[in-house]
Amino acid sequence: GALWVSAADGRIQGWDWQASDDNAFAELMTRNYWVDIDAVAAQGQVNGHDSKIKVKIVTTNEEQNEFFFPGFIDTHIHAPQYPNAGLFGSSTLLDWLETYTFPVESRFGSPPDSKTGHQTSTDPRDAPILAQQIYDQVISRTLSHGTTCASYYATNHVPATNALATLCYIRGQRAFIGRVCMDNPDFCVDYYRDFSANDSLVATRQTIEYIHALDPEGNLVKPIVTPRFAPTCTRPALQSLGDLAASYSPPLHIQTHISENINELALVKELFPEADSYAAVYDKYNLLTPRTILAHAVHLTADERALIRARDSKISHCPASNSVLGSGICPVRTLLDEGITVGLGTDVSGGYSPSILEAARQACLCSRLLAQSAPWQRDNPKDADGNGSDGREKLSVSESLYLATRGGAAVIDMARDVGGFEMGMLWDVQLIRLGGVKLAKKSPLDCVVGDGSADLVKAGPVGNVDLFGTESWEEKIQKWVWSGDDRNVKAVWVGGRLVHSRV
């Protein structure tokens, strides 16, 4: 059958046996691949929604080992921290920020003008070459892992933030771009901060205007208002950023961190003694909106979850980062049961990997650890029967893939546009290639040293070798999630444009 994707708007027009001559993109797609049928690869319920994951099976001449899968959505990633991926020593959040994170981020531009406090240029070419190159690498790397859309934190430098937006636009990655605001001198280091709340506001506006000029329709790249987190921001900054987001129609997206680490909670209590809770700090300044992405949310109280649910704010679950920095285990099942919308984030470089497939795997793994932990370590007293867990915390592969795609789409308020294969959705898709079934003909005992690796190459990429040809699609997908990587990602499209491929 042929796949029709509109060349005009990059949206799925149909799956059909008739190829269309006047549709260049459909031709491109069908020249090499035959799209046969939908297979249900995984099934379940998330948030009361059907979490059925469909794959579009692709048949090539040789074997049925390829399928289209919705592109991954990374709802939380720090682009300038990419050089630090894997580097954290034994730090936890607050000393990690000071030891590793602020130093690397500060390299992405010069401090603001000492007289005006403002950045003097908005030109992305005024960003250091180092910043431009690292941002380009981040885009290459995330695309190669199947990330078709990312919500990025940049730094507080306007030229570099605008460079990240421009590179996403040129390279064709869907993205939200946030200029990071941090003006509280009591927490931020002098070599890397805004010098006033007004500086945060003015510079944020500069990036918003730049991005709106770059992509007026917001088809690919959109600005996102980014107060780093409560401790880095003064009250006037939080106030003006909340007002700024609300002053646009539709209101701008907002992203920040919440309730990641125990010491951070104590710090927020100390800095904002007037607030009932961490979430209440953000709520006071109109930063809890339906378009707000809250990263981590590991230690929320029931009242905070109720507040976030009432505001319809969204949560980015960052399991790799939460483990690495010793932040804790986010009770995802509880969030979902309470009706909160959840997606996945890599949180590079709190997270060590730019891969959302890895985030899905870690979401499954962490949920298993939570299910095994002692009753008093778990959040839901319902389980505190002393007999161990009923296993409710466990996320299935199906659920983690839902969070990686449809969940993420809901987090960025694009559930009708991306995350699945419905008619009219954008063609933000990855082509996944599983391992082949070819076996070497001769005995390895007869091989000279080295032949074994040649056989490995022939066997294809990791993630799946269906040795007996008997696996269901559900089983194939499980093996992909638990053991696959970027070698399985053969091609990636965003809005119908091919943005990554490997032979």
Query: Interface with ligand GUN by CB under 6 A: which residues?
Result: 78, 93, 97, 101, 228-229, 257, 260, 321, 347, 350
Q: Which does 101 bind (CB under 5 to 8 A by kind): ligand GUN, Fe ion, none?
A: ligand GUN
Per rule CB under 5 A, is residue 264 in the interface with Fe ion?
no
The SS3 assignment for 303 reads helix
In degrees, to the nearest 5, what angle opens at C-alpha 72 toward C-alphas 67 and 75?
A: 170
Asked if 354 and 142 count as a contact pair (C-beta separation under 8 A), the reply is yes
How many of the other CB atoms lie within 10 Å of CB of 395? 26
Distance CA 93, CA 229 (A): 12
Which DSSP helix (H) or strand (E) runs through 257?
strand 253-258
Beta strand 314-317 with 292-296 is parallel
How many of the other CB atoms lie within 10 Å of CB of 271? 18
Q: Which does 417 bind (CB under 5 to 8 A by kind): Fe ion, ligand GUN, none?
A: none
Q: Which is nearer to Fe ion, 167 or 295 (CB)?
A: 295
Nearest distance, CB of residue 215 and Fe ion, angstroms: 24
Q: Which is nearer to ligand GUN, 108 or 229 (CB)?
A: 229
Distance CA 323, CA 402 (A): 21
Total residues contacting Fe ion (rule CB under 5 A)?
Answer: 2
Q: Which is nearer to Fe ion, 230 or 295 (CB)?
A: 295
H/E/C letters for each residue in 371-427?
HHCCHHHCCCHHHCCCCCCCCCCCCCHHHHHHHHHHHHHHHCCCCCCCCCCCCCCEC
Nearest distance, CB of residue 499 and ligand GUN, angstroms: 26
Provide the Cα torsion 251, 192, 256, 409; round to 10°.
70
Q: Which is nearer to ligand GUN, 132 or 321 (CB)?
A: 321
Nearest distance, CB of residue 295 and ligand GUN, angstroms: 7
Number of DSSP helices (H) and strands (E) in the chain, helices first: 17, 19
Asked if 64 and 434 count as a contact pair (C-beta separation under 8 A), the reply is no
Nearest distance, CB of residue 81 and ligand GUN, angstroms: 6
Per rule CB under 5 A, is residue 66 in the interface with Fe ion?
no
Q: Which is nearer to ligand GUN, 21 or 186 (CB)?
A: 186
H/E/C letters for each residue in 424-460?
CCECCEEEEECECCCCCCCCHHHCCCCHHHHHHHHHC
Q: Which is nearer to ligand GUN, 304 or 383 (CB)?
A: 304
Q: Which does 54 bind (CB under 5 to 8 A by kind): Fe ion, ligand GUN, none?
A: none
Tokens matching residue 87: 């580097």
Q: Which is nearer to ligand GUN, 6 or 323 (CB)?
A: 323
3-state helix, strand, coil in the chain (%, to 5): 40, 20, 40
Nearest distance, CB of residue 133 and ligand GUN, angstroms: 21
Nearest distance, CB of residue 78 and ligand GUN, angstroms: 5
Nearest distance, CB of residue 127 and ligand GUN, angstroms: 19
Site residues for Fe ion, window 333-352 (CB under 5 A)? 347
Q: Which does 228 bind (CB under 5 to 8 A by kind): ligand GUN, Fe ion, none?
A: ligand GUN
Chain Cα centroid distance, residue 192 = 25
Nearest distance, CB of residue 254 and ligand GUN, angstroms: 15
* Nearest residue to Fe ion on Cβ basis: 347
Nearest distance, CB of residue 257 and ligand GUN, angstroms: 4
Q: Which is nearer to ligand GUN, 269 or 458 (CB)?
A: 269
Contact characters 268-307, Fe ion, x per CB under 5 A: ---------------------------x------------
Nearest distance, CB of residue 79 and ligand GUN, angstroms: 11
Q: Which is nearer to ligand GUN, 91 or 196 (CB)?
A: 91
Nearest distance, CB of residue 41 and ligand GUN, angstroms: 31
Asked if 136 and 130 count as a contact pair (C-beta separation under 8 A), the reply is no
> Which residue has tokens 């917001």?
218
Q: In terms of Cα–Cα distance, which of 94, 228, 224, 103 is closest to 156?
A: 228
Distance CA 84, CA 235 (A): 30
User: What's phi and psi for 478, nearest 5 deg?
Assistant: -60, -40
Per rule CB under 5 A, is residue 413 in the interface with Fe ion?
no
* Nearest residue to ligand GUN on Cβ basis: 350
Asked if 159 and 121 count as a contact pair (C-beta separation under 8 A), the reply is yes
Q: Which is nearer to ligand GUN, 186 or 217 (CB)?
A: 186
Q: Which is nearer to ligand GUN, 292 or 464 (CB)?
A: 292
Q: Which does 305 bind (CB under 5 to 8 A by kind): ligand GUN, Fe ion, none?
A: none
Q: In terms of Cα–Cα distance, which of 224, 232, 197, 262 is closest to 97?
A: 232
Q: Which does 486 bind (CB under 5 to 8 A by kind): Fe ion, ligand GUN, none?
A: none
Q: Which is nearer to ligand GUN, 347 or 428 (CB)?
A: 347
Nearest distance, CB of residue 348 and Fe ion, angstroms: 8
Q: Which does 260 bind (CB under 5 to 8 A by kind): Fe ion, ligand GUN, none?
A: ligand GUN
Distance CA 134, CA 439 (A): 41
Please give the residue ranges that form the binding site for Fe ion (CB under 5 A): 295, 347
